[in-house]
Amino acid sequence: NAGVTQTPKFQVLKTGQSMTLQCAQDMNHNSMYWYRQDPGMGLRLIYYSASEGTTDKGEVPNGYNVSRLNKREFSLRLESAAPSQTSVYFCASSEAWGARRNQPQHFGDGTRLSIL
């Protein structure tokens, strides 16, 4: 089982370039999430999609946009990349939003993004 698949695994961008990070899950999960991980700060939520057709801002949404393309796919777009967006980006999915507690999230292996 693939679980959560992220592409690409690595990317280097120049300041001002745009890019879309792709995420797909094969677990039939309703909810999907994008996080960024920076040294000493744990993971911070950028955007989430509680269910197909909905998206909402998380803790650090500035400079990003998302699209829930269908139930399987949730993409993250950087319209004009900045050095402060250099980070490791993780996509995650879970069964449900709010309906039941203790629903763990399943993570992809991450996209390592460097912006020069």
Partner 1 sequence: AQSVTQLDSHVSVSEGTPVLLRCNYSSSYSPSLFWYVQHPNKGLQLLLKYTSAATLVKGINGFEAEFKKSETSFHLTKPSAHMSDAAEYFCVVSQTGANNLFFGTGTRLTVIP
Q: Does 89 bind partner 1 (CB under 8 A)?
A: no
Q: Which stretch binds partner 1 (CB under 8 A): 15-23, 64-72, 79-87, 107-115?
A: 107-115
Q: Does 58 bind partner 1 (CB under 8 A)?
A: yes
Question: HEC profile for the chain?
Answer: CCCEEEECCEEEECCCCCEEEEEEECCCCCEEEEEEECCCCCEEEEEEECCCCCCEECCCCCCEEEEECCCCEEEEEECCCCHHHCEEEEEEEECCCCCCCCCCCEECCCEEEEEC
Encoded one letter per residue, x for contact with partner 1 by CB under 8 A and - for no contact, window 38-57 reads --xxxxxx--x-x-------
Residues making contact with partner 1 (CB under 8 A): 4, 31, 40-45, 48, 50, 58, 90, 92, 94, 96-98, 101-110
